[in-house]
Structure 1
Amino acid sequence: MAFVFALSLGLAVFVQPAAAQAGASDIIAVGAMAPDITVTGATRYGVLQDPVRLSDLRGEVVVIAFFFRARTPG
């Protein structure tokens, strides 16, 4: 469980904001299935060598958190 939490924090650091890249018709509705994205993962120990796909975590609880600034308290 700690790995999934750390991985989700790492995903938040490296995921580009989808809304900034998407047009108005590409916005995902609340409660809809998330698109399969591939990102560079990171844990508190560093960046993972292999990319992480959201579909690899199917069946797991995934929290994607967005931070104002990466690797800072604020």
Structure 2
Amino acid sequence: LSKPPPWECKFSQRQVQMKKNVFPEWILEGRCETDKCFYRIYNCEPIKYTLKLLQRDPTTCNPLPSTN
């Protein structure tokens, strides 16, 4: 295994499953494992993104269009 460069912050990620009838079904969540990196010179700062989640209407049936 290769050792990561010292200027990269330690980072962990995991997949989170959303509730039923929500798309995307899975999202990727990441976290800094330490506050500082590269000999405590740099900060590991999380970046937040806005996700647009789609939820299926349980009262409506939307069949897939036929291709033939």
Normalising to structure 2: TM-score of the pair?
A: 0.23
| More RCO (CA 8 Å, sep 6+) | 1
Which protein is bigger by CA-based radius of gyration? 2
* Higher relative helix content: 1
Normalising to structure 1: TM-score of the pair?
A: 0.22
